[in-house]
Amino acid sequence: MGKERNKSGFSKEFSLARRPTFVRVNLDTILDNLKILKNHLAKHTELIAVVKANAYGHGAVAVSRFLEKHGISHFAVATALEGEELRNAGIHCNIQVLGNASEDEIQTLYENRLIPTVANEKFLSSWLRLWRQQQRNTLCVEDGLPIGAVVLKVDTGMSRNGCQPSQLWSLVEYCENNNIPIHSIMTHFAQSWDDQIFTQTQMNTFMEVTAPYRERGIKVHVANSGAILNKIGVDLDYVRPGISMYGQAPDTSDFGINATKTAGLKPALSWHAKASAVNDLEPGRVVGYDQTYRCTSNERVAVIPIGYADGYLRNMFKNGYVSTEDGPWQLH
């Protein structure tokens, strides 16, 4: 990237970063992407914004604060510690912890009023014991947040977290008998971006096993980004978009990439760097480790000072382009 561009647009960011490279996250783009995703949903369906893993690298606190200000009232993170970080930053609304609820995290879940994702009765009984020890009533609502609520997760085919479909009734019964509020029941899809048949099988299992509970008004959700883009589970009570919120494809399959583009989702993150050297090389000169590139004519090669420490892996060579004032330059 040339000097003019740095002068006109980026000098402040470079000086803040104190490095010749920085990442810019456009929060408005995330909001725009959510609006696009919302258009795929039934009117009553609500968003749970997935901000796990530091909002997929976009900054969980900044993203959640911004979205909360713009009316998002449900977030999902991977771990209790991620939830605690959001509470410490003043995020007030519902925060579901997607990882399988474990006793190791129970205190952090409790203290931060996070919503655990539960797959077994053992956790439910520890959860209940903790609330009772504190002489707190799990059935009440404090500051608009249901106290002690849990999400029950059922495994419909991914074979990762979740109870088996045949066990769901006993978890629901345990909650109901002990006044533990059920925020919702969910499942997770294994390949919603490009295996419609398997996804529909998961969906059918979920709808069958949850039918009696939906009738009683218990809320349900299934859809991650791939499912939303494929319009599966988009008329249930919630959807849980992650990667698509940030404008990235749910998968590297053609479907994933095309569906993201067709929907008009835009990447919220851009990575900027100042070239540390620009070399004019003659035909036959090789460039970089493993001689990955050989000049075929007189060529201008820029050195961009980023690497492992910045999250750029060597095996990404030839997989991307850099936007410059002169148009896209291939990465080597």
Ligand X SMILES: Cc1ncc(COP(=O)(O)O)c(C=O)c1O
The set of catalytic residues is: 52, 289
**Cα 322–chain centre separation:** 25
243 makes contact with ligand X (CB under 6 A): yes
244 makes contact with ligand X (CB under 6 A): yes
Give the nearest distance from C-beta 239 to ligand X in angstroms: 9
From the list 218, 323, 214, 266, the residue with the least C-alpha distance to 27 is 266
Q: CA separation (Å) from 182 to 57, 156, 202? A: 31, 19, 22
From the list 33, 42, 43, the residue with the least C-alpha distance to 67 is 33
> Given the DSSP bridges, would you call strands 220-221 and 182-186 parallel, antiparallel or unpaired?
parallel
Interface residue with ligand X among 1, 49, 98, 304 (CB under 6 A) is: 98
Interface residue with ligand X among 240, 256, 263, 265 (CB under 6 A) is: 240
**Interior angle at CA 306, CA 305 and CA 312, nearest 5:** 160
242 makes contact with ligand X (CB under 6 A): yes
233 makes contact with ligand X (CB under 6 A): no
Interface residue with ligand X among 102, 138, 224, 230 (CB under 6 A) is: 224
Interface residue with ligand X among 83, 157, 162, 241 (CB under 6 A) is: 241
Q: CA separation (Å) from 132 to 148, 254, 272? A: 11, 52, 52
Give the nearest distance from C-beta 50 to ligand X in angstroms: 4
**Cα 122–chain centre separation:** 28
Residue number, 83 or 250, with CB nearest to ligand X? 250
Give the nearest distance from C-beta 96 to ligand X in angstroms: 9
Binding mask 177-196 for ligand X (x = CB under 6 A): -----------x--------
**Number of residues forming the site for ligand X (CB under 6 A):** 12
**Cα 320–chain centre separation:** 23
Q: Six-digit token pair at 48?
A: 């749970």
Give the nearest distance from C-beta 46 to ligand X in angstroms: 14
Residues found near ligand X in the complex (CB under 6 A): 50, 98, 188, 224-226, 240-244, 250
